[in-house]
Amino acid sequence: MTIKIIMDTDPGIDDAAALAMALNNPEIDLKLITAVAGNVTVDKTTANALKIVHFFKKDVPVAAGAAQPLIKPFEDAARIHGESGMPGYDFGDNYGQPIAKPAVEALHDAIMAEDEITLVPTGSYTNIALLLAEYPEVKSHIKQIVAMGGSISGGNMTSVAEFNVFTDPDAASIMYQSGIPIVTVGLDVTLKALLTPATQAKLLSLGETGKMLHGLITHYNDGDNEQGHPMHDVNTIFYLLHPEAFTTKDLWVDIQTSGPAIGAMVADVRGAYHDGQTNAKVCVDIDAEQFNQWFIEQVEKIEL
């Protein structure tokens, strides 16, 4: 039985790797890709999503979404992902166009066409927040949201804020208050599941897909070359396929939307303030060795 998903993303090097896994795993049925401003501007993230779909010769629609956060000024991560968002491989210029529908409309139509579907946002959550505000009826059709973002142990933009949540904390707050079941795949696990130098070296022997991913990863300015690079967004796909590799805690999560701690994910770890209620299953540990093994096995299976 396949897992039906929609990816809302901002490629980005690790987003590209996550898309590669989702597009090529027979257990996943990727219905739609929507792009959002985040790692780079939305015109670039849309183009990058199209490049990955075209590279793998897949027929998955790509829709362009929000160009800026709901309230907070836009701040990209080009210093991490490069000006294009996906340096290190020549995808050419003939990679197609997004569909005419804007992301929110495309999300609505794709979700309502299914009895239940999983949303996998790996960028800022602006498109998701706009969708929930305009079309609240989609909630009953969303099985869960498996979101890369946040942290209950420290940030990578500030001491407390992770990039996806920091980019649009108001959207993150809307999503976490939606009542939809949410799995938080944040820095608590993604900074443990580093793609090791040995794993990266193996990619060069794994055909054009391995060459492409190796090219992107070697241009990724996130992580330590001696220990490895975090593939943050890929962890969402790994979770969908291998939840047993993760340790989770059911917690109530709030998002700080202003002040010096803007973008912080505040978890009620003592269960002291919400009468025992929780709104997120937060991943707190991961089998990093299994992640590396799985990553290579997935690339080995991809045929172009």
Q: Tell me the catalytic residues.
A: 232
Per-residue tokens: 165? 């949540």
- Exposure string over 87-120, b if 16+ CB within 10 A, otherwise e: bbbebeeebeebeebbbbebbbebbeeeeebbbb
Determine the 3-state secondary structure of 130 from DSSP: helix
Q: In whole angstroms, what is the distance from residue 220 CA to residue 129 CA?
A: 29
CA atoms within 13 A on the CB side of 142: 26
Q: If you search the block for the tokens 């593939």, which residue do you land on?
A: 231
120: part of which helix (H) or strand (E)? strand 117-121
CA atoms within 13 A on the CB side of 130: 21
Q: How would you classify residue 57: left for phi > 0, otherwise alpha for psi between -120 and 50, otherwise beta?
A: left
Q: In whole angstroms, what is the distance from residue 223 CA to residue 246 CA?
A: 21
CB-based contact 192:227 (threshold 8 Å): no
